[in-house]
Chains A and B, each alone.
Chain A
Amino acid sequence: MSAIELQHLVVRFGGLVAVSDLSFSVREGSIHSLIGPNGAGKSTVINAITGLYRPSNGSVSIFGRDIAGLRPDQISRAGVARTFQNTEMFGEMTVIENVVVGAHRRADYGILGAMLRLPKFSRQESGLYDRAAELLELVGLGPDRNMLASALPFGKQRPLEIARALASSPKVLLLDEPAAGLRAAEIERLNLTLANLRREHGLTILLVDHVMKVVMNISDRITVLNFGQKIAEGTPEEVRTDPEVRRAYLGDRPARARAS
């Protein structure tokens, strides 16, 4: 059973087909990347997996469980977490509070427990903050914990989103362009973090990006999309030398939609 399995996924917006007949699977504990030229449908795939878009057809399974059509919060409960292409931080909260929100489902005290500060609340709440602090250390944001999230420099916003996603203790992590806009040193750090997550925490990671320094370096397997369809798949080496991929990116023929 794969950690993530897409079978014949189709995502349509009105008349526009953003993703058509996409199938691939991600082995548990591996890092799988999704690449392709702009507009290839990569973010759409992530959005479809996490329930923000409803798949028009096909299935999406997480450890064998079909999650297509579920609400995003239900999919989160199935063990899926993600980061966003345009960072969706909670700007008015502090860095650590952002991560604590990620741990929302790690506690289950209810409204009365919260209002009356019942014992269950006290027990669980400090645990949430402790875990959040650990995760911030992991991504290198420990000293910034009390800073307002909207005041964070761009290079730190991405690690914050990762820490926040990890707070929900996912089994599968989806990263939507985590390296976009990062400087060289930050990219290095990202690579280390990802390798660490796979090695120490056994996380399965699906990664969408353009930055080849990350993708080629860290991926176990890569799927290449163009115009919403898979045009190549394999190890980084295989993909790097694939002529179809070259054509899609460099376009020595005029780009047009074609079946692969």
Chain B
Amino acid sequence: MSPRLARWLGGLALLLVWPLVASEYRVFQAGLVASTAIIALGLIIVTGVAGQVSLAQAAFAAIGAYGAALFAVRLGIPAWFGIPLAAGLAGLAGYALGFASLRLGGHYLALVTMALTAIVQVLLIHWEDLTGGALGLAVTPLSIAGKELTSGFALYYVVAPVAWGMFAAAANLLDSRLGRAFAALRQSEVAAQTLGVNALHYKALAFACSAVFGAVGGGLQALQTTFLDPHAFGIIESVVLVAIIVIGGFRSIAGAAFGSAAFVLIPEMLGAFQSYKGAVWAVLLLLMIVFFPGGLAGLGVTLARRFLPMLTRSAR
């Protein structure tokens, strides 16, 4: 067994064992970190590695969340199949959108992805027959052999292994010719093209990946929150997700984990000043941009390298 594989399996073992010594609340929180991290991971691929700004991640999470929930409620398809199905649809949409708009750079791309998120949210709020509208949608819980999985523990043992799998897949993707193509496009699109990389196709592919990851994360998080509110899938949420990866460190997949952990834990640390959590988050983001472009992952990379080398395999 290669040392790399051993490290990843070791990580999985750790993930599966630690809840046994933790409280239900902490385990539930960790589950939320895991599902957020999956969504953030998609953004790392498209924005951090491939360099394409995307404010559509909340929309893709919405497609996964609402898609899977509606499949369950309307068509009786359980989330085991519903989430991958919704993710596949999201991926196709992501590729199509990417193809249409990734010729544009920077600002225009930000605007188009912003518009997409806004349009999706408007649909969610106003297409009441389908989505329950502004009043929201209840999410059918997952069940195995007739037993519903609703406790923090049960949901953790669904979400965490999936998160592990998706991080492994992402790491593998980034350490392959496709991941290299993404990174090459960001660092010198011109050179990458002259080496045979079809820029539009690969950018669209990165976008599709972000959509798939976003939808899977969204679908899983829907199971955890048990109720979908369309107001939680707007432009602001997309911006918050960008903040998560920037604060976490947006060039490496570790950033998705660090950022999500910070996002879930910081409000708690604020205690009585809960209502300031949004402002604190924004200030943290600005500090990171100005002073620590490498994010938490950059700051912690020396420590992590010593104890958890697998997590800091950086996007190259």
Contacts and interface: CB of A to CB of B under 8 A. Distances in A.
Contacts of A94: 316
B181 A76 contact: no
B176 A91 contact: no
A89 B183 contact: no
Interface residues of B, number: 28
B193 A91 contact: no
A114 B172 contact: yes
B110 interface: no
Interface residues of A, number: 42
B37 interface: no
Interface stretch (A8-16, A98-106, A243-251): A98-106
Interface string B175-208: 0111111011001101111111111000001000
A97 B316 contact: yes
Nearest to B199: A73
Nearest to B171: A115
A70 to B, nearest CB: 11
A259 interface: no
B180 A97 contact: yes
Determine the main DSSP class of B at the interface with A. Answer: helix
B188 A89 contact: yes
A104 B197 contact: yes
A6 B196 CA distance: 22
Interface in B40-83: none
A42 interface: no
A116 B175 CA distance: 12
A24 interface: no
Given A88-B188, A101-B181, A115 B196 contact: no
B177 A52 contact: no
A147 to B, nearest CB: 13
B193 A101 contact: no
A105 B251 CA distance: 25
Interface string A67-102: 000011101110011101000111111100100111
B204 to A, nearest CB: 12
Nearest to B212: A111
B284 interface: no
B270 interface: no
A121 B176 contact: yes
B194 A109 contact: no
Contacts of A89: 187-188, 191
A73 B200 CA distance: 10
Contacts of B173: 111, 114-115
Contact of B196 (A52, A73, A88, A97): A73
Interface string A112-124: 0111110001000
B169 interface: yes
A128 interface: yes
A159 B288 CA distance: 37
A90 B191 CA distance: 8
Contact of B195 (A104, A113, A114): A104
6 contacts: A71-B198, A73-B199, A84-B191, A101-B177, A168-B195, A168-B196
Top 10 nearest A-B pairs (CB, nearest first) are: A114-B176, A72-B193, A88-B191, A76-B196, A105-B196, A115-B169, A88-B188, A90-B187, A73-B198, A101-B184
Interface of B: 169-170, 172-173, 176-181, 183-184, 187-188, 190-199, 205, 209, 251, 316
Given A101-B181, A114-B179, A165-B195, 15 more contacts: A51-B193, A52-B193, A71-B198, A73-B198, A88-B191, A89-B188, A90-B184, A90-B191, A92-B251, A93-B187, A100-B177, A101-B177, A101-B195, A114-B172, A116-B172
Interface of A: 50-52, 71-73, 75-77, 80-82, 84, 88-94, 97, 100-102, 104-105, 107, 109-111, 113-117, 121, 125, 128, 164-165, 167-168
